Amino acid sequence: MSIFIAILGLALLVLVHEAGHFVMARVTGMRPRRFYIGFPPAIAKVTRNGIEYGIGAIPLGGYVKIPGMFHPGKRDPQLYFRSAVTEDESLAEPVQALGQSLESEDLDRARSDLALLSERVESARLSPASARLAGRGFEELDDALAPDAYWRQPTWKRLAVIGSGPLTNILLAVLIFASLYMLNTYRLGFNVVANPKTGAATTQVERVLANSAAARAGLRTGDVVVAINGDKVTGSTMIKRIGASAGRPLTLTVRRHGNLTTLHTVKPMNLALSPPGALANSFRLTWRITRDIFVNGLGRLFERQGQKQISSPVGIVRGSSDAYRHGISDFLFVIALISLSLGVLNLLPLLPLDGGHVAFSLIERVRGRVVSREIYERASMVGIAFVLFLFVLGLSNDVPKL
Domain ranges of the chain: 75-145, 186-270, 275-401
Give the pLDDT score at 114: 94
Flag whether pLDDT at 267 surpasses 60. yes
Q: What is the pLDDT of residues 74-97, one digit of tens each?
A: 889 999 999 999 999 999 999 999
- What does the pLDDT average to over 109-134? 93
- What does the pLDDT average to over 151-178? 95
Give the pLDDT score at 270: 74
Taking the C-alpha atoms of residue 399 and residue 392, their distance in angstroms, rounded to an integer, is 10
Flag whether pLDDT at 305 surpasses 70. no
- What does the pLDDT average to over 126-136? 93
Flag whether pLDDT at 299 surpasses 70. no
Taking the C-alpha atoms of residue 374 and residue 73, their distance in angstroms, rounded to an integer, is 9
Average pLDDT in the chain: 86
- What does the pLDDT average to over 281-290? 90
Q: What is the pLDDT of residues 11-67, one digit of tens each?
A: 888 899 999 999 999 999 999 999 998 888 889 999 998 899 999 888 777 889 999
Taking the C-alpha atoms of residue 101 and residue 113, their distance in angstroms, rounded to an integer, is 8
Class of domain 186-270: mainly beta
Give the pLDDT score at 142: 95
Q: What is the pLDDT of residues 184-196, one digit of tens each?
A: 677 788 888 876 6
- CA distances (Å), origin 91, targets 109, 120, 132, 314: 17, 7, 16, 48
- What does the pLDDT average to over 152-166? 96
